[in-house]
């Protein structure tokens, strides 16, 4: 509880507890946090582990410990993290992957990866694990530019 309520964790735990979580038992911790609009501090806090997460997924896929569900999870994680980068400027907050992709294509119209991922998630393009590894490698560098 001390960790959650630390002032330094406002944009991570504070955002999660105030806007994402629902108290189902015990003290409602959300009363300790203000309402927040998406901003770069929240985005950086929520995605502070994105590069390590992508590296972990990469290792799992290379070692053959994956299925299509993991590959889809990787793509969704990339999209959610990227969308968070523009949510403040867009003045939006969406948890719908297709909406996230539409918004990303608006802000990054030359980013072909988002267009290809959209086709995969719509089932219009085949899911190939070697391509997912390429996306992981590409977005590891991409996120280093924007988040780290």
* Confidence at residue 68, expressed as pLDDT on a 0 to 100 scale: 93
pLDDT band at 148 (very low <50, low <70, confident <90, very high): low
| Whole-prediction pTM | 0.85
Buried b (16+ CB within 10 A) or exposed e, 27-51: eebbeebeeeebeeebbbbbbeebb
Instruction: Express as a percent the part of the chain with pLDDT over 90.
Output: 67
CA 143 to each of CA 34, 51, 55, 116: distance values in angstroms, whole numbers, following the listed order: 28, 7, 12, 18
pLDDT in tens, 77-124: 999 999 998 998 998 988 899 999 999 999 999 999 999 999 999 999
Per-residue pLDDT, averaged over 66-81, amounts to 95
* Confidence at residue 131, expressed as pLDDT on a 0 to 100 scale: 95
The rounded distance, in Å, linking the Cα atoms of 19 and 57 is: 27
pLDDT in tens, 20-30: 899 999 999 99
Residue entry with tokens 């630390």:
6
């Amino acid at each position: 509880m001390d960790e959650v309520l630390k002032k330094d964790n406002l944009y991570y735990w504070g955002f999660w507890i105030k806007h994402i979580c629902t108290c189902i038992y015990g003290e409602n911790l959300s009363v300790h946090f203000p309402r927040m609009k998406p901003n770069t501090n929240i985005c950086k806090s929520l995605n502070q582990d994105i590069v390590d997460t992508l590296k972990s997924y990469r290792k799992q896929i290379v070692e053959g410990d994956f299925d299509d569900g993991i590959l889809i999870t990787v793509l969704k994680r990339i999209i959610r993290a990227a969308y968070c980068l523009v949510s403040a400027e867009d003045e939006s907050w969406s948890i719908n992957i297709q909406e996230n992709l539409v918004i990303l294509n608006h802000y990054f119209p030359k980013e072909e990866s988002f267009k290809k991922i959209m086709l995969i998630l719509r089932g219009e393009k085949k899911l190939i694990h070697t391509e997912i590894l390429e996306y992981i490698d590409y977005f590891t560098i991409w996120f280093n530019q924007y988040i780290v």
